[in-house]
Chains A and B, each alone.
Chain A
Amino acid sequence: MKNKLFFAVLISIFTFLYVNCPNQDAPAKEDNSSVWDATVDVKVGSSVTEVNLKNLDKVQFNGMESVRLTRIVEVIALEKPWRYVYNFISNDNFDPLTKLGNDIAQLPVYGELDYGYLCYDSSDDYFRIYWDKALNFSGKLSVKNMNYGTINVIEAPLESLIVHTPSFRVNVDYSDMTRDNVVDYKHPDDGAVPMLSVVSIFEKGGITDAASCSFKIYGEDGFSNSDDNLMPYINMEHAYLKLSDSRITFADESYDTTACCWRIKNTVYIKGINAQ
């Protein structure tokens, strides 16, 4: 009798230890692995790649298991991901771009996908895109039912660039603007070549808060000036866009930087950050 009692206590102790042992490999949250066995199409022109969400790394966003949108798009290894903007079409054909007046400037650029998440809402059993509030995106981009939906990768038109300041986000088509002939101080032997003053591009876009900003400039290859070398507005007032390669240039060397560097080529996106 004593032995039976002894073994009963022993089994209870080991059962308790087994259940409460902090196993590092055990999932910390509920297991949603089966719901993630779904796909999203990534469409570039006529080419469509089906990306399975199951094997992509997950993160928590607002308490929901999520896949960062970068993880989905990077699977297709675009050569120039900054050349594009990204639209999100649900499995029931909700298309935010049409709701945003077909204004592609309202869609995220590549770097912003890092702050967008495809979230699984287990309470309502659906997938929805959410964005970090700091991006201040339209609620229309918070697309529901994105499992088996499509990320439409849209190439920004040539001879246009997106200018984003605290109050504006505009795709400026500069193809019909009047050009100046300017000598790039770095290439005087080329003589005067067609350029546009960057502030004239801002003006065409109706941007009125540029003077309060410093600027980070992105090329189509993702190259940009570093965060501690943003271009002040006073320098931007003397900057040009050389039309042959969309490179930021200067006629006057004294307005350029000695650090690396503001002469971004194939410029696609200019972000104005409040200079305070």
Chain B
Amino acid sequence: MRNSKYYFFQKNIVFLLLFVSLIGCKAPVENDGALKDKGTFDALNNTNCFEVVKGEKTYEKWLSDYDSFEYDYEGSMMTAINLWELINEEVTTTPENYRYKIYGIDNYTFGDYASWTNIQNAVVGIGTRRVVFNPNQGLDHSYNIKWAYRIVLSPAGN
């Protein structure tokens, strides 16, 4: 009787450990966006997508994940999110150590670089992906980008 109980215990432990091992071998999640039912991530064509690029890594951001608000752009209201929120801790914990370029789907970008302070004072339009910098910063109007889809970080230097 004692041996039978022991055998039953052993058998269940084996199944339990096998189950735990297989769960541990979890497959990588290849498209988190698909799981959220947002469709395939396609920054060039989907206006809900935005790429954040640092070095060789690309972080896929869905604009609908962020709180939007109404923003007054040259007298017209646009629905927008804060650009800086895309640069979260997953991307870097030291955003001030980088400088920034933003690209439109037509490959347009502004001359020079934007600083972290500039990025903290910019918005992205929902549905349009128009990037608008707060005019109080005195940046050239050419910094504003229509159909933006990518922001690239590179070291800001000393």
Contact = CB atoms under 8 A, between A and B. Distances in A.
Interface of A: 6, 10, 13-14, 17-18, 21-22, 24, 56-59, 68, 71, 74-77, 79, 219, 221-224, 226-229, 260-261
Given A24-B28, A58-B56, 6 more contacts: A14-B17, A17-B18, A74-B155, A77-B99, A223-B111, A224-B109
B95 interface: no
A227 B109 contact: no
A229 B146 CA distance: 14
B154 A223 contact: no
11 contacts: A17-B18, A18-B21, A21-B21, A22-B25, A57-B55, A57-B56, A75-B155, A77-B155, A221-B111, A221-B112, A226-B106
A57 B110 CA distance: 25
B125 interface: no
A226 B25 contact: no
B56 A227 contact: no
B142 A260 contact: yes
Q: Is the interface of A mostly helix, strand, loop or mixed?
A: mixed
Nearest to B147: A226
B55 A71 contact: yes
A17 B155 CA distance: 42
A260 B108 contact: yes
Contacts of A18: 21
Interface of B: 10, 14, 17-18, 21-22, 24-25, 27-28, 55-57, 99, 101, 104, 106-112, 142, 154-158
Nearest to A221: B111
A223 B156 contact: no
A227 B106 contact: yes
B25 A17 contact: yes
B111 A59 contact: no
Contacts of A219: 111
B106 A56 contact: no
Nearest to B13: A10
A6 B10 contact: yes
A28 B18 CA distance: 25
B157 A76 contact: yes
A146 B51 CA distance: 32
Given A58-B56, A223-B110, A226-B104, A10 B21 contact: no
A79 B107 CA distance: 21
Nearest to A7: B10
Contacts of B18: 13, 17
Given A14-B21, A17-B25, A71 B107 contact: no
Given A223-B110, A226-B104, A260-B108, A77 B21 contact: no
A249 B102 CA distance: 26
B17 A229 contact: no
A13 B155 CA distance: 48
Contacts of A24: 28
B107 A222 contact: no
- Top 8 nearest A-B pairs (CB, nearest first) are A77-B157, A221-B111, A223-B111, A57-B55, A57-B56, A226-B106, A226-B108, A21-B25
A56 B55 contact: yes
A146 B134 CA distance: 44
Nearest to A216: B107
Contacts of A71: 55-56
A7 to B, nearest CB: 9
Nearest to B101: A222
Given A57-B57, A77-B99, A221-B112, A227 B154 contact: no
